[in-house]
Amino acid sequence: MSNPYQAPTADSPREEGVDLSGTTVGLWNPRRLGVFAFFFGAHVGAFLQAQNWKALGNYEEAKRSYRWMWAWFAIMTIGVISELSELALNGVGLVFFLIWLSTLSRQSHYLMTEQIKFTKKSWIIAVGIWGLLTLGFFVLILILSFVYLAVTESIIASGSLIRVDS
């Protein structure tokens, strides 16, 4: 007799031969994630997509979606720190969004081919997640700005800068 409290040994319920087609899984509607991400940002869409993949038991796809989220954070952080113009930063964000949008079809296709039924999760929770992720991004930018100021002030105070008198 197996231990009912033992952690699962498989990464995915599909590896064990479990058929998800007979169960109902709570997901954010993959067909609406693109619209939501257009208004709230690709980072939130990628996070919600990763949550969907985790609920489906596909942890590799969830990791891929999390990488998209972290890539968005990295690109926007570099854009803000490097003082890109607002137009350039919006252009980079739009290109990133369009590339990320192409990944959404994989989840919809998976649901259709596996005939998995799902209940739609509330978008109010998704808006709350958006707020937390966006707040985290701004806190990160604030911390990096303070570090940048501290480093430049210490360099100026130490006199390490080469001064050119004209």
The verdict on residue 10 lying in a domain is no
Q: For residue 120, which of 24, 21, 44 has the smallest C-alpha distance?
A: 24
Give me the domain span that covers residue 63: 27-158
Q: What is the DSSP letter of 22?
A: G
The verdict on residue 93 lying in a domain is yes
Q: How many domains does the chain have?
A: 1
Average pLDDT over residues 57-74: 92
The verdict on residue 122 lying in a domain is yes
The verdict on residue 105 lying in a domain is yes
Average pLDDT over residues 76-90: 84
Contact 40, 28 (CB under 8 A): no
The verdict on residue 16 lying in a domain is no
Split at pLDDT 50, 70, 90, the class of 164 is low
Q: For residue 75, which of 55, 88, 94, 93 has the smallest C-alpha distance?
A: 93
Split at pLDDT 50, 70, 90, the class of 16 is very low
